[in-house]
């Protein structure tokens, strides 16, 4: 059992103060059990920042001690996700280094030698085919750089297995040995591993090694303040990437989960984070992963992109969803430019871009029932038909003076300019809101505008005809768009 208190008497596992003014060797040691989770990605980020801040080494070690964890696909996914986030390592399974090998499953001979040493010096014993670590009397204090002093009474820990009866070593033995032999200076990880620290300290001490310094940051929780798990929606880095999030937005959000900058701010590059990062500003309390906040961060990141990169990402996603051929035709490039003018400042993810593009590609739209009723008027239908003819007569839909032309057409049918604009927007989008019509026209194109207007007109004429309803919901009198006497026109779009 752990307590946050100062301890006197027989204390084991004391650790020296950490000198942050020298290059530090730190490690990220995930288990290859699938894609990278946001909680693990945050720990990787903090370790990467500390290594870069001190001019040290960021070591990637795959902790696949248990044979059930030996998943090459999981390791490949973790490598891919880390690289996508921009967190390159200095030593690891695919890059090598002086402490190789970097997969725990490949280090079993090293682990076996250390188990033999523990048996030889009496710190371990065999029972029922397994090897057990002998818990000495006393107390171990973990001098945690985040949590402070945390004391563990050995009486509550008891002896524990370090090598199973099948010959495989357990995680605590492998971790303690690998951290020592890889010369890891600081182990920065989530506080769900805090209870493992005294066991790993005791193993290291029994082998004659100086344990690393520990820093355990608070866990990540969901909106219900329960620990975030892989079962929560959109908590895998791969899942978030496929949802259209950018690595820079994820980095910003993850950095602020348990760490605070010296001055209040939310936007950072990785280089800026390196400059600002300090272990002393890491917190030990839980931090909430807020999907809404991440979405806002991502919208901001999209708007901050250079135009050519934003354009390239939209093209890439369109190709991924079969909405664009390769290579990209010049006409499609112009279309994407217009799309970014229309929607670029409002999007929060690249998947939202695909959803909007898919809507623009539909031949017909669904109008809300009462909005359809507002159009149920011969003057409106004649006006929409005239708009369809106007569109058909245009050689190019870009740059049309719709602010002047649509009110002029509306005059012929006694419609006010605002009613005319609203009728056109509803007929071609099924909504009151959206980008200016001057941008929507070239995005939809001649045929799609005419088909959509024709579908609305046909539905009105062949559905119930032109007889409008008299009352809306709750018995409130309902009025369709009615012609008005000619007057000054206003432009809208």
DSSP alpha helix (H) spans, 107-246:
108-120, 154-157, 171-181, 197-206, 237-242
Least confident segment among 201-205, 254-258, 320-324, 462-466: 462-466
pLDDT band, very low/low/confident/very high, at 484 (cuts 50, 70, 90): confident
pLDDT confidence tier of residue 428, bands split at 50, 70 and 90: very high
pLDDT in tens, 131-180: 999 999 999 999 999 999 999 999 999 999 999 999 999 999 999 999 99
Task: Calculate mean pLDDT across residues 335-351.
Answer: 98
Q: What are the tens digits of pLDDT across the range 311-330?
A: 999 999 999 999 999 999 99
Rounded Cα gap, residues 357 and 244, in angstroms: 14
Q: Which long-range contacts link 405-410 to residues 24+ away (Cβ below 8 Å)?
A: 406/437, 407/489, 407/490, 407/491, 408/489, 409/383, 410/383, 410/489
Give yes or no for residue 13 having a pLDDT over 50. Answer: no
Write the CB contacts of 76 (distance below 8 Å, at least 6 apart in sequence).
none
**pLDDT tier for residue 463 given thresholds of 50, 70 and 90:** confident
Which residues are CB-neighbours of 7 under 8 A, at least 6 positions away? 139, 141, 149, 151
User: What pLDDT shows up at residue 226?
Assistant: 85
CATH topology of domain 369-475: Arc Repressor Mutant, subunit A (1.10.10)
pLDDT category of residue 12 using cuts at 50, 70 and 90: very low
Same fold, 2-221 and 369-475: no
Strands 130-133 and 124-127: antiparallel
Q: Look at residue 39 and tell me whether its pLDDT is greater than 50.
A: yes
Domain 2-221 sits in CATH at 3.40.50.620
Cα first-last separation, the chain: 67
Instruction: For residue 348, count CB atoms less than 10 angstroms from its CB and return exposed for 0-12, middle for 13-18, buried for 19 or more.
Output: buried
**Alpha helices (runs of H) in 121-236, residue ranges in sequence order:** 154-157, 171-181, 197-206
Q: Residue 315: in which H helix or E strand, if any?
A: helix 307-320
Residue by residue, DSSP assigns 194-218 as GGGHHHHHHHHHHTTPPPPEEEEEP
Query: d(Cα 214, Cα 197) in Å, to the nearest integer?
Result: 8
pLDDT band at 230, cuts 50/70/90? low
User: What average pLDDT does this structure show over 420-429?
Assistant: 97
Instruction: Kindly report the average pLDDT of the chain as a whole number.
Output: 91
- Could you give the CA distance from residue 137 to residue 153 in angstroms, rounded to a whole number? 8
Helices 350-361 and 330-343, packing angle to 10 deg: 110
Domain boundaries, the chain: 2-221, 305-361, 369-475
pTM comes to 0.89
Question: What CA–CA distance (Å, rounded) separates 343 from 243?
Answer: 18
Nearest CA among 152, 169, 147 for reference residue 160:
169
**More confident of the two residues 230 and 189:** 189
46-92 pLDDT, tens digit per residue, is 999 999 999 999 999 999 876 555 556 889 999 999 999 999 999 99
Report residue 410 as tokens: 């509306």
């Amino acid at each position: 059992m752990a307590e946050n208190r100062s301890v006197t008497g027989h204390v084991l596992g004391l650790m020296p103060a950490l000198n942050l003014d020298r290059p530090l060797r730190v490690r990220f040691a995930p288990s290859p059990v699938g894609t990278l989770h946001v909680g693990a990605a945050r720990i990787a980020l903090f370790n990467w920042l500390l290594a870069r801040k001190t001019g040290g080494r960021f070591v990637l070690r795959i902790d696949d001690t248990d044979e059930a964890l030996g998943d090459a696909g999981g390791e490949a996914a973790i490598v891919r996700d880390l690289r996508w986030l921009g967190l390159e390592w200095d030593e690891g399974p695919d890059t090598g280094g002086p402490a190789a090998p970097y997969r725990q499953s490949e280090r079993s001979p090293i682990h076996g030698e250390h188990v033999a040493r523990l048996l030889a010096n009496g710190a371990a014993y065999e029972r029922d085919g397994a090897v057990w670590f002998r818990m000495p009397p006393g107390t171990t204090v973990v001098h945690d750089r985040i949590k402070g002093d945390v004391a563990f009474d050995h009486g509550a820990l008891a002896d524990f297995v370090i090598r199973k009866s099948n010959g495989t070593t357990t995680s605590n033995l492998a971790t303690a040995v690998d951290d020592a032999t890889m010369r890891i200076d600081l182990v920065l990880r989530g506080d769900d591993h805090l209870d493992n620290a005294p066991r790993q300290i005791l193993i290291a001490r029994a082998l004659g090694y100086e344990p690393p310094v520990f820093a355990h940051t608070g866990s990540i929780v969901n909106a219900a303040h329960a620990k975030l798990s892989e079962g929560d929606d959109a908590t895998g880095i791969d899942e978030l990437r496929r949802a259209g999030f950018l690595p820079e937005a994820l980095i910003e959000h993850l950095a602020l989960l348990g760490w605070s900058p010296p001055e209040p701010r939310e936007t950072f590059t990785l280089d800026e984070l390196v400059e600002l990062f300090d272990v002393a500003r890491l917190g030990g309390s839980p931090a909430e992963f807020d999907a809404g906040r991440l979405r806002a961060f991502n919208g901001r990141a999209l708007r901050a992109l250079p135009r050519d990169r934003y354009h390239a990402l939209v093209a890439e996603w369109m190709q991924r969803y079969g909405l664009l051929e390769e290579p990209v035709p010049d006409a499609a490039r112009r279309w994407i430019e217009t799309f970014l003018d229309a929607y670029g400042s409002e999007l929060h993810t690249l998947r939202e871009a695909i959803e909007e593009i898919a809507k623009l590609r539909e031949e017909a739209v669904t109008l809300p029932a009462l909005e359809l009723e507002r159009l149920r008027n011969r003057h409106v239908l004649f006006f929409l038909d005239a708009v369809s003819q106007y569109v058909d007569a245009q050689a190019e839909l870009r740059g049309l003076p719709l602010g002047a032309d649509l009110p002029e057409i509306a005059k012929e049918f006694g419609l006010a300019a605002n009613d005319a604009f609203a009728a056109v927007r509803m007929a071609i989008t099924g909504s009151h809101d959206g980008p200016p019509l001057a941008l929507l026209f070239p995005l939809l194109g001649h045929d799609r505008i005419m088909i959509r207007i024709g579908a609305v007109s046909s539905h009105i004429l062949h559905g119930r005809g032109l007889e409008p309803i008299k009352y809306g919901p709750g018995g409130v009198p309902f009025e369709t768009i009615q012609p008005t006497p000619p007057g000054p026109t206003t432009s809208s779009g």
